[in-house]
Structure 1
Amino acid sequence: MAKKKPETIDHEELTLDGKRYVVLRESEFRRLCRAAGIDAAKAPEPDTTLLASGLDADRQSLAEKLRSRRHAARLSQAELARRAGIRPETLNRIERGRTTPDFTTIRKLVEAIGAAETD
């Protein structure tokens, strides 16, 4: 009897706070539960309180790092915003931890600070 080839599972791997995690699409999770004979409906619900507090902590950490790097580069908020091509109000909200920037905005800020540090 021929051995069946193992299936590949569509997933993402990530490390948070030194712990490795695997993220699956819900349909893949349910398929694996069925194959293992586990009732997916009884799977624990995500702790949205913990998730929200984690996001708040990440947002605050980003704000502190950004503010520190901006000060080290001797840039005002207005100057960094100008160099990054974003509105000063947006930078202010990011630095106060009131909003989470998207990846493009973070990249613009990092590049603008890096350029200022080499000036």
Structure 2
Amino acid sequence: GKRYVLVPETEYRRLSDLADAGEPELPTPDAEGCYPAIETVRVLIAQDIIRARRRLGLTQAELAERAGVRVETISRLEHAKHSPSIRTVDKIDRALKAAGAEHGKGRRKRVESV
């Protein structure tokens, strides 16, 4: 049968974050210096999501839950393997903005209480 390993959730999250530590790179331009449009847009979206999520200290699972999408969707987008719908981009954008507002409020509270 399959073997399983139990680890504390914090360790699992740490390992998960290490697993998706890299960002996808822009595709190679053609001989005229032009980048393939679809692949380039996918990479730019991926980089934006990864940077915003990390800045806010969110895991892929946390962002997926906040956005109401599957973790696999976040993973595919962050690996530039999928072109998202406008609806999905909107959900992720709203989730990141809400998390940013919460993050900012928390920071202000700490400053005010000092």
Superposition TM-score tier, normalisation by shorter sequence: 0.5 to 0.7
**Greater relative contact order structure (CA < 8 Å, 6+ sep):** 2
Aligned length: 70
Rg bigger for which structure?
1
Unaligned runs of 5+ in 1: 1-50
Between the aligned partners of 1:52 and 1:68, the Cα distance in structure 2 is 22
Question: Which of residues 110, 114, 117 is equivalent to 2:93?
Answer: 110
Q: Which runs of 5+ in 2 are unaligned?
A: 1-33, 103-114
Identity, % of aligned positions: 33
Where in structure 1 do 4 or more consecutive aligned residues deviate above 6 Å? none
| TM-score, L = length of structure 2 | 0.58
1:61 to 29, 37, 44: 44
The CA RMSD measured in Å over matched residues stands at 1.8
Aligned counterparts of 1:56 and 1:116: Cα–Cα separation in 2: 28
2:55 is the counterpart of 1:72 = yes
Larger proportion of strand: 1
What is the CA-CA distance between 1:54 and the residue it aligns to?
A: 1.1
Output the TM-score relative to the length of structure 1: 0.56
The structure with more helix, counted as a fraction of residues: 2
